[in-house]
Amino acid sequence: MLSAWSDRFRDFRNRKVADPAFRRWASRFALTRPVARRQARALFDLTAGFVYSQILYACVRVDLFQKLAAGPLSVAAVAHATGLPPFGAERLLKAAAALDLVESRSGERYALGPLGAALVGNDGVTAMIAHHRILYEDLRDPLSLLAGTAKAGLQNYWAYAGGECDTPAEPRRHGDYTALMAASQAFVTAEILDAYSLERHGRLLDVGGGDASFLIAASRVAPELDLMLFDLPPVAAIAGQRLNAAGLAGRARAYGGSFLVDPLPSGADLVTLNRVLHDHDDDAALAILRAIRRAIAPGGTLLVVEPMAGTPGAEASGDAYFGFYLLAMGQGRPRTAAEISAMLVRAGFETIGTVATNTPMIARIVSAKCGAA
């Protein structure tokens, strides 16, 4: 009943907003003017979004935020430091100031703005922005992506995407995406470690664990924990080296294989799946969860950690950003916590719940327990 009323109200609103005469009236009438301005601004920001992204990308390419970290600089000094001509440096600084990335200061100088300051020393976000060059290329023709006819650059970048495999003659590159994931892993690790106590467990398996950044951080907060990692062989090799270099050879081991076909190492009473499930189509995602169910110790816990669709306050990052990012990557989709929970039940897990995180836009956690033996 309530939803019928709400639908009727929305239909009425849409008819009004779609009427140019009403829009003109609303922008002049004092009570509706603020709403009309807000909507016009939101629509303008959507229209201009790609331009804003390119301004941010240009700042990252010339390392502007790092260069301003020591203090304000004049346009001439920024031009000298970045190699841009003075008119280009000035245009970029003005644009970045309009986006709160930098701020103008006395003496015609520019300093970091609140958003630019947040990027200083922030290798994870900086690396994400830099690799968006490939995504922007792929998004040039969104309709062919949606039609499934585009062969996108991100599919190449993520060497496991699109069902393509390494061959001895043509090994695919796993180092670039592994380095990108390592650079951004610190945020995810902080979310997990703040939300969930690892110390109650004896053995942790990180599935699709990349270069072992998460395991190395986990080893510090839970010194008694045995550590296992499973990833594709070239990535597991990188992880193994890093675990050894971190002095963890005695309590950590990296296993190489494909979780779509190979059995996972067994015996862990805690399994983590960080930013892995959304990379895979439904059949593959279910296969991964079933492989974990077979390998996990009786009574063990699985944590599925990733940004999820339908996250309150972060809806755009789920279905819009990740929806299109994964489309360009050629596989996977953002899922809601409820969809992941339903898949966990199908895979044979029993007690499903969620663990609250500080920044759900970066990562949410769905937990699942399997029955004791």
Ligand X SMILES: C[S@@+](CC[C@H](N)C(=O)[O-])C[C@H]1O[C@@H](n2cnc3c(N)ncnc32)[C@H](O)[C@@H]1O
> 128 with 108: CB under 8 angstroms?
no
Closest approach of ligand X to the CB of residue 207, in Å: 7
Closest approach of ligand X to the CB of residue 301, in Å: 17
Dihedral angle of Cα 316, 131, 54, 191, to the nearest 10 degrees: 40
Dihedral angle of Cα 343, 349, 350, 351, to the nearest 10 degrees: -80
What is the 3-class SS of 276-328, one letter each residue?
CHHHCCHHHHHHHHHHHHHHCCCCCEEEEEECCCCCCCCHHHHHHHHHHHHHH
Select the span of 82-90, 92-100, 121-129, 274-282 touching ligand X (CB under 6 A): 274-282
Q: Between 273 and 337, name the residue whose CB sits nearer to ligand X.
A: 273
Of 82, 126, 219, 274, the one binding ligand X (CB under 6 A) is 274
Q: In DSSP terms, which residues pair with 303 in a beta bridge?
A: 272, 367
Give the largest CA-CA distance in the chain. 74
Select the span of 55-63, 101-109, 145-153, 271-279 touching ligand X (CB under 6 A): 271-279
**Identity of the amino acid at 202:** G
Query: Can you tell me which residue has the tokens 């805690």?
Result: 270
| Strand runs labelled E in the chain | 73-74, 102-105, 109-112, 203-207, 226-231, 252-256, 270-274, 301-306, 351-355, 364-369
Distance between CA atoms of residues 231 and 255, nearest Å: 7
Closest approach of ligand X to the CB of residue 267, in Å: 18
Residue window 278-307: x/- pattern of binding to ligand X, with contact defined by CB under 6 A:
-x----------------------------
Closest approach of ligand X to the CB of residue 253, in Å: 15
Of 152, 212, 218, 276, the one binding ligand X (CB under 6 A) is 276
* Number of residue whose CB is nearest ligand X: 208
Select the span of 65-73, 80-88, 109-117, 272-280 touching ligand X (CB under 6 A): 272-280
Select the span of 30-38, 47-55, 205-213, 354-362 touching ligand X (CB under 6 A): 205-213
Q: Could you tell me if residue 71 is left (phi over 0), alpha (psi between -120 and 50 degrees) or otherwise beta? A: left
Dihedral angle of Cα 206, 208, 213, 215, to the nearest 10 degrees: 10
Residue window 137-166: x/- pattern of binding to ligand X, with contact defined by CB under 6 A:
-----------------------x------
Q: Between 258 and 358, name the residue whose CB sits nearer to ligand X.
A: 258
> 364 with 305: CB under 8 angstroms?
yes
**Identity of the amino acid at 176:** D
Number of residues that bind ligand X (CB under 6 A): 17
Of 78, 79, 96, 188, the one binding ligand X (CB under 6 A) is 188
Q: Between 36 and 229, name the residue whose CB sits nearer to ligand X.
A: 229
Residues numbered 207 to 266 that lie near ligand X (CB under 6 A) are 208-210, 231-232, 235, 258-260
Q: In DSSP terms, which residues pair with 230 in a beta bridge?
A: 207, 255
Regarding 185 and contact with ligand X (CB under 6 A), the answer is yes
Select the span of 12-20, 119-127, 202-210, 289-297 touching ligand X (CB under 6 A): 202-210
Residues of this chain that bind ligand X (CB under 6 A):
160, 181, 185, 188, 208-210, 231-232, 235, 258-260, 274-276, 279
